Amino acid sequence: MLKALSAALIAVALAVPGSTVASAQTKSSAAPMIVLETTKGDVTIRLRPDLAPNHVARIEQLAREKFYDGVPFHRVIAGFMAQTGDPTGTGEGGSKYPDLKAEFSKESFRRGSVGMARTSDPDSANSQFFICFAPAPWLDGQYTIVGEVTAGMDVVDKLKKGQGGGGAVQGPDKVKAVRIADAPR
pLDDT digits (tens, 9 = 90+) for 85-116: 999 999 999 999 999 999 999 999 999 999 99
127 backbone φψ class: left, alpha, beta (φ>0; ψ -120 to 50): alpha
185 domain residue, yes or no: no
Domain that holds residue 47: 32-180
Q: Which residues contact 25 (CB under 8 A, 6 or more apart)?
A: none
Q: Are residues 107 and 18 in the same domain?
A: no
pLDDT digits (tens, 9 = 90+) for 41-86: 999 999 999 999 999 999 999 999 999 999 999 999 999 999 999 9
1 domain residue, yes or no: yes
Q: Are residues 19 and 89 in the same domain?
A: no
Q: Are residues 8 and 96 in the same domain?
A: no
Number of domains in the chain: 2
pTM for the full predicted model: 0.83
Q: Are residues 12 and 102 in the same domain?
A: no
